[in-house]
Structures are given as C-alpha cells and as structure tokens.
C-alpha cells in the first residue's frame, strides 16, 4: 500500500489496496492518513453495497441522511445522483456536511458508479492549512468565537434551493436543525486547529452585529477559497473518496449538463466538537 499527498493542504491518494479485504494493520495506517490529510482517494475499487457498508462501519456508526434518496434495500446508503435532464446537482457549492447537527458527522464515504465523460470533478479545501495561513491578528480575533449553523434554507420544504432542486429532497419538514459550534475547533483526533464555518450551512457568528458577522464570514470564505488550500479530484468509475467534515470543505462541480452522474454515499457519525484552546 502506498499513500501519497494529493496536495500540500488537503488529501492523500491511496494505492495498492483492496478495501474489501483490509487487514487491521492496513486500516490503522489508513485511519492515521485520513485524519492527517483530511481526505483519502482510492482508485479501482469493486464494492458491493455490503462492502461499502462494511468499510464504513469500521470507522464508526453510520449516520443515516434524512434528506437524500436511499438506495433501495440499503437505507444506510444515500444516492448522489443527477440525471441527464436535471440542471441542479447535489453539493454544488462550498460546504461541510452536517455542520447543522449538534454532533456533526465525522465524514462521508462516496463511491462512484457512473461518471460523465468529462466534468463532474469535486474540489476539496483544507481547513487546518487555511487556519495556519491566517495572520496573528485574525487568529486573535477568532479566538473563542462561535457560529450558528442550520439547514432549513437548504433542505426545508419552502426553501428556494429545494424549489430550484425540483423537490428531489425528502423529509423536508424535519429540516429544522440548528447548532452552535466553535469558529476555530480543535480536531477531535489530532488536536490541530482548523476553521469550522462554511458558506453552505453557517448562518451567523453568535453575539455579533449581523453586518459585522457577515463581513467576517465573507472574509474567511474568501481566504479559504484561495487555490493553495485546494485539491481537485477527477472522478473515475470505481473510485472511492472519503473526507473528514471537521477539517475540510468540498464542492461538486456542475459542468456536465446532459450526462448522468451517480455515486453512493455513506455518512459516518461523529463526536461533539471542542473549542480550540488559545
């Protein structure tokens, strides 16, 4: 097994391993690389739904997504699907999965079944690298701040996004989650400091004037969107990607109109998040 950095800021590529027959020693090495890099990418995997579930369960309990359409017979697996006649894709903007939950999901494991002939890449951004690149003045300003996250504006039945999305999300009446998390967290596994706000689900900085909150978030988002913090993944059928929601953003590009793109996703349960210490 070989593990090499995908970029300096985020991600690693794992080669020479079959995820259906991982030894305990291989899993320990993969787990360490995952938390160190924030995301792992495995090519040429041949996974049944049962294999996908078994690999996911080695990490933690499965967090069943309440809004995505499940694979028939496998409620643990959510479809990430865009048909040729659909215009809007799932995840088409920078975000972090499940930051609206009081205990956010640890990560997501996405397996590619059908990939368009071109386009459909996913961008990843590293939150530890982005935090470390902030100047000292901004780090002091962020110390101790908390942000509110929510999902009604995305998954709610009356949201503009749901209407634009063509009603493809289910269970929309339950899109009422809100949670407060540190703006700078201490990673539960590594202790590394990283930014934990995102354009998809962060609503505001708690106890801050709304205009100041918006300005600060916009400044952080502009900082994180600089390309030195990114890796662009070009999907292949049979590829599996997994990412740590506590240390990454991701963005599914919607540049393959008229083609089908279908992946299966399992979400892994996480733990409460702690404020980074000064």
Positions marked active-site: 95, 97, 250, 265
Query: What string of DSSP letters covers the chain?
Result: -EEEESSSSS-EEEES--TTS--HHHHHHHHHHHHHHSEEEE-S----HHHHHHHHHTTS-B---SSSPEETTEEEEEEEEE-TT--PPTT-SSB-TTTTSSS--SEEEEEEEE--SS---EEEEEHHHHHHTS-HHHHHHHTT-EEEEE-HHHHSTT-HHHHHTTS----GGG---EEEEESEEE-TTT--EEE---TTTEEEETTS-HHHHHHHHHHHHHHHTSGGGEEEE---TT-EEEEETTTEEEEE----TTS-EEEEEEEE-----EEPP-
Enumerate the β-bridge partners of residue 95. 250
Sheet containing 122-126, strands listed edge to edge, beginning at the edge strand earlier in sequence: 230-233, 122-126, 248-252
Query: How many angstroms separate the Cα of 4 from the Cα of each of 105, 144, 171?
Result: 25, 35, 40
């Amino acid at each position: 097994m070989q593990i090499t950095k995908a970029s300096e800021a985020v991600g690693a590529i794992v080669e020479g391993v079959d995820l259906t027959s991982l030894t305990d020693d291989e899993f320990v090495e993969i787990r360490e690389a995952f938390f160190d890099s924030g995301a792992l990418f495995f090519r040429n995997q041949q996974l049944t739904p049962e294999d996908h579930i078994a690999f996911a369960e080695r990490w933690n309990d499965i967090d069943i997504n309440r809004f995505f359409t499940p694979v028939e017979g496998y409620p643990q697996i959510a479809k990430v699907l865009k048909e040729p006649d659909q215009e809007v894709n799932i995840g088409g903007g920078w975000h972090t999965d499940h930051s609206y939950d009081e205990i956010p999901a640890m990560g997501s494991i996405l397996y590619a079944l059908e990939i368009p002939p071109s386009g459909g890449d996913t961008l990843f951004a590293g939150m530890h690298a982005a935090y470390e690149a902030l100047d000292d003045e901004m780090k002091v300003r962020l110390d101790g701040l908390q942000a509110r996250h929510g999902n009604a504006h995305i998954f709610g039945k009356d949201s503009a996004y749901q209407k634009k999305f063509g009603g493809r999300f289910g269970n929309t009446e339950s899109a009422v989650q809100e949670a407060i998390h540190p703006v700078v967290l201490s990673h539960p596994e590594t202790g590394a400091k990283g930014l934990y706000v995102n354009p998809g689900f962060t609503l505001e900085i708690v106890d801050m004037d709304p205009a100041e909150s918006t300005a600060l978030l916009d400044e952080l988002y502009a900082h994180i969107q600089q390309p030195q913090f990114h890796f662009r993944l070009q999907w292949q059928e049979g590829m599996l990607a997994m990412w740590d929601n506590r240390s990454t953003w991701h963005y599914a590009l919607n540049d393959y109109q008229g083609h089908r793109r279908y992946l299966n996703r399992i979400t892994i349960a996480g733990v409460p998040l702690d404020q980074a210490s000064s």
